[in-house]
């Protein structure tokens, strides 16, 4: 009789037989905690689980350590020792939060190293637990967990360090216009205590929960306050001293578990704010700016949709605006919102080309502004020069930049208009004046055409208009947090850079002709075996044809072109021969067919509208429904014709839906959602694996 304990030992003995290399591969897919647990089994497992290559993987995956160092930067004897030092130093905090905060600071320092190294010396070393506790005691607050961890890694900046060297070193950046200058620093703990005590002598907050976290202490004051109870970050308005008026910096719904380490992932506004800031830096949405003798991080957007770009006759104009809460007065009836805007103009290297003639210079003479608030014209300005200047543009030279400001009764709004230039110089004109477009740029987070983007993302599963926090925002041109998240999700799905902005690659992908079935209403196959080549997706609840329906019939609508019918038949035959799960034949009547194929236009009775030429070209439904429709307004052909879509390739894709496959993230798969004119495709192993998973071998 075999004893129960002997039976329990058998799996361990069998696992030992796999060898150290296989063990290393298996444990590397688990994690540090599992590796430590496995090390307790026996000496051999302990030796394997202590392998340096294994812990170098763990250290890089979680902490991005390329060498074994502790949190103070001191070298350790091994990666395992380094990993242990990090866990010990931050053991009082949720480990996923520590990883997330380290990632933020690593990204910030990496960007600064590459772009603005002068800021690095202003960053203070991490605060100790004792220093954090001292602040809490001094100000009678309890810091949110994410903020504590942020300051454990870096105790803010020394204010004003670097200004004397010709740089405005505020980590958060700023803007300037006329005689106003904003440059925001992240404050260290000792300055937080001092500034909070100073400001509370002037501002009588209802409770002592607000502390000063960041500020611009140039001759333009701008202050940020952390609500230590709720975890929200606020920025003061023009009325801060008068009636404690502040604005939240982060949507409240994103803040959670700021004091409870046991209740899911923690994120306060400070962490979210810094993550968004470094994302904008990394993606070039905001950039370094040289202004006179100073360099600084400029908050004027540099990328669409918040920055407009237009080129007329060789003159390029870029324009964007930034909200200035410190000058906004919400008690004012007509001028509530203050916006600073930046105009950048330059002449292309080839010069300006006007009325068939080429000139090597041009000079600004006149400006025309149309300012709108919620699409209503509130100001129409004509005037000479800009801020009293008539810039002379020369080919290929540095942009001429000027900043100004405007107020608005409501937000969002926009500015558009034109500049009038004279070829040559004003004192020596070489031709007749010509107008240069200034494309519309937004004041606030509303951009024309954004509502159509929301409808697109909603149609294909990236946004849910029924659960949108603000229905009005969904229907209008507001570029809000939900849209940014949806754009990121779309970009990840299509292997684009996840910027959250409508950059050129994203827009180009969105305008490609595609299948009408949503991308995100599918179950993603995840293959944890060593075979990682599968990308197929299945529909929710995995609908499929029953075993008794392995032979399916298909029929054509009355207006389906006879010339295309052989292509559809070939598509069915290719599925049958490749998978061997189904056979197909033409039904005696289209009414009796399992699969009904037809051409349709616009609204055609199935709730899935076609949109004319381009856009959605075809769609099909899940198993047991059996409908497949092609858009009659699109151009169709048999085979590769550069001006039309190959109907057999599109049919192969749509038949995949009829059999139970969703869209694939593998670009070469037939179930990839988009197609180009003249493109032909065949079935891949990805689709065969998908049907195998759905119907069995």
The annotated binding site for Ca(2+) is made up of: 594, 611-612, 631
Neighbour-count burial of 430, counting CB atoms closer than 10 A to its CB (0-12 exposed, 13-18 middle, 19+ buried): middle
Q: Which helix (H) or strand (E) holds 235?
A: strand 233-236
Binding-site entries: 515, 594, 604, 606, 611-612, 619, 629, 631, 653, 657, 663, 671
With beta carbons less than 8 A apart as the criterion, state whether 326 and 220 touch. yes
Distances (CA, A) of 56 to 64, 81, 101, 660: 10, 10, 20, 42
Phi, psi of 394 (to 5 degrees): -120, 150
d(CA 416, CA 438): 6
Tell me if residue 335 is catalytic.
no
**Coil, helix or strand for 522?**
coil
Rounded Cα distance between 520 and 532, Å, is: 21
Please, which residues have CB within 8 angstroms of residue 356's CB and are 6 or more apart in sequence?
Answer: none
**175 secondary structure, DSSP code:** E
Residue located via tokens 């009005």:
472
The three-state secondary structure class of 632 is coil
Instruction: List Cβ neighbours of 585 (8 Å cut-off, separation of 6 or more).
Output: 551, 553, 554
Sheet containing 180-186: order of strands: 246-248, 233-236, 221-227, 210-217, 180-186, 173-177, 294-298, 287-291
- 63-100 burial: b if 16+ Cβ within 10 Å, else e: bebeebbbbeeeebeebbebbbbbeebbeebbeebbeb
Q: How far apart are the first and last CA of the chain?
A: 40
Instruction: Classify residue 128 by its DSSP letter.
Output: P
Name all contacts of 351-354 with Cβ < 8 Å and 24+ positions apart.
351/314, 351/395, 352/313, 352/314, 352/315, 352/393, 352/421, 352/423, 352/434, 353/313, 353/314, 354/313, 354/423, 354/431, 354/432, 354/434
CA dihedral 205, 206, 207, 211 (to 10 degrees): -20
SS3 at position 380: strand
Under 8 Å between Cβ of 684 and 697: no
How many other β-carbons are positioned within 10 Å of the β-carbon of residue 438? 23
* ∠ CA 344-350-353, rounded to 5°: 85
SS3 per residue for 99-125:
HHHHHHHHHHHHHHHHHCHHHHHHECC
Residue 235's beta-bridge partner residues? 224, 247
Print burial letters for 578-613: b (CB count within 10 Å at least 16), e (below 16): bbebbebeebeebeebbbbbbbbeeeeeeebbbeee
Q: 326, 403, 654, 687: which is the annotated catalytic residue?
A: 654
Residue for token pair 């197609």: 675
Give one DSSP letter per residue of 465-488, joined into a string.
Answer: GGG-S-HHHHHTTB--HHHHHHHH
- Contact criterion met (CB below 8 Å) for 189 and 132: yes
DSSP-derived pairing of the beta strands 246-248 and 434-443: unpaired
Spatial contact of 641 and 678, defined as CB atoms under 8 Å apart: yes
Of 347, 278, 277, nearest to 312 by C-alpha is: 347
Q: Are 363 and 386 in contact (CB under 8 A)?
A: no
**Residues involved in catalysis:** 654
């Amino acid at each position: 009789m075999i004893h129960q304990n002997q039976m329990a030992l058998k799996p361990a003995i069998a696992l030992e037989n796999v060898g150290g290399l296989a063990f290393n591969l298996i444990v590397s897919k688990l994690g540090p905690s599992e590796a430590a647990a496995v090390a307790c089994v026996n000496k051999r497992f302990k030796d394997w689980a202590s392998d340096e290559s294994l812990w170098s993987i763990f250290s890089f995956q979680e902490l991005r350590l390329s060498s074994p160092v502790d949190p103070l930067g001191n070298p350790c004897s091994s990666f395992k020792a380094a990993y242990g030092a990090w866990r010990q130093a931050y053991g009082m905090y949720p480990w996923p939060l520590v990883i997330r905060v380290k990632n933020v600071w690593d990204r910030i320092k990496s960007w600064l190293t590459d772009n603005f190294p002068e800021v690095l010396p202003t960053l203070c070393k991490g605060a100790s637990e004792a220093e954090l506790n001292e602040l809490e005691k001094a100000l009678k607050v309890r810091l949110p967990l994410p903020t504590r961890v942020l300051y454990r890694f870096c105790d803010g900046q020394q204010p004003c360090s670097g200004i004397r060297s010709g740089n405005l070193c505020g980590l958060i950046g700023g803007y300037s216009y006329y005689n106003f200058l904003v440059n925001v620093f992240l404050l260290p703990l000792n300055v937080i205590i001092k500034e909070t005590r100073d400001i509370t002598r002037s501002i009588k907050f209802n409770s002592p929960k607000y502390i000063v976290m960041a500020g611009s202490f140039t001759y333009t004051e701008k202050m940020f306050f952390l609500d230590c109870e709720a975890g929200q970050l606020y920025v003061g308005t023009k009325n801060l001293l008068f009636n404690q008026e502040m604005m939240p910096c982060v949507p409240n719904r994103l803040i959670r578990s700021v004091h409870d380490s046991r209740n899911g992932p923690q994120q306060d506004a400070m962490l979210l704010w810094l993550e968004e800031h470094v994302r904008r830096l990394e993606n070039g949405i905001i950039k370094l700016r040289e202004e006179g003798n100073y360099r600084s991080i400029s908050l004027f957007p540099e990328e669409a949709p918040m920055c407009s770009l237009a080129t007329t006759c060789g003159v390029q104009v870029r324009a964007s605006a930034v909200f200035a809460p410190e000058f906004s007065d919400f008690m004012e009836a007509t001028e509530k919102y203050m916006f600073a805007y930046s105009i950048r103009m330059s002449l292309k290297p080839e010069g300006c080309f006007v009325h068939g003639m080429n000139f090597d210079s041009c000079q600004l003479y006149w400006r025309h502004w149309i300012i709108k608030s919620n699409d209503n014209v509130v100001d129409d300005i004509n005037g000479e020069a800009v801020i009293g200047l008539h810039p002379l543009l020369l080919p290929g030279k540095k942009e001429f930049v000027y900043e100004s400001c405007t107020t608005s009764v409501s937000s969002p709004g926009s500015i558009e208009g034109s500049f009038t230039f004279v070829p040559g110089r004003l004192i020596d004109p070489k031709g007749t004046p010509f107008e240069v477009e200034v494309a519309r740029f937004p004041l606030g987070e509303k951009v024309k055409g954004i509502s159509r983007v929301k409808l697109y993302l909603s149609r294909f599963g990236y946004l849910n208009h029924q659960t949108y926090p603000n229905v009005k925002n969904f229907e209008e041109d507001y570029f809000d947090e939900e849209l940014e998240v949806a754009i990121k999700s779309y970009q990840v799905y299509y292997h684009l850079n996840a910027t959250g902005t409508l950059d050129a690659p994203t827009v180009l992908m969105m305008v490609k002709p595609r299948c009408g079935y949503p991308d995100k209403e599918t179950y993603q196959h995840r293959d944890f075996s060593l075979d990682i080549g599968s990308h197929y997706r299945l529909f929710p609840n995995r609908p499929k044809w029953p075993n008794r329906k392995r032979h399916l019939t298909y029929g054509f609508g009355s207006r389906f072109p006879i010339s295309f019918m052989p292509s559809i038949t070939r598509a069915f035959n290719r599925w049958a021969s490749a998978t061997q799960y189904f056979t197909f034949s033409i039904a005696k009547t289209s009414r009796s067919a399992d699969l009904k194929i037809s051409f349709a236009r616009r609204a055609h009775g199935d709730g899935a509208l076609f949109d004319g030429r381009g856009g959605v070209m075809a769609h099909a439904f899940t198993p047991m429904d059996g409908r497949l429709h092609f858009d009659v307004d699109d151009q169709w052909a048999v085979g590769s014709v550069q001006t039309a879509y190959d109907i057999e390739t599109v049919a192969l894709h749509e038949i995949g839906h009829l059999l139970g496959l969703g869209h694939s993230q593998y670009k070469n798969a037939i179930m990839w959602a988009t197609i180009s004119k003249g493109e032909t495709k065949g079935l891949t192993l990805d689709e065969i694996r998908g049907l195998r998973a759905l119907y069995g071998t």
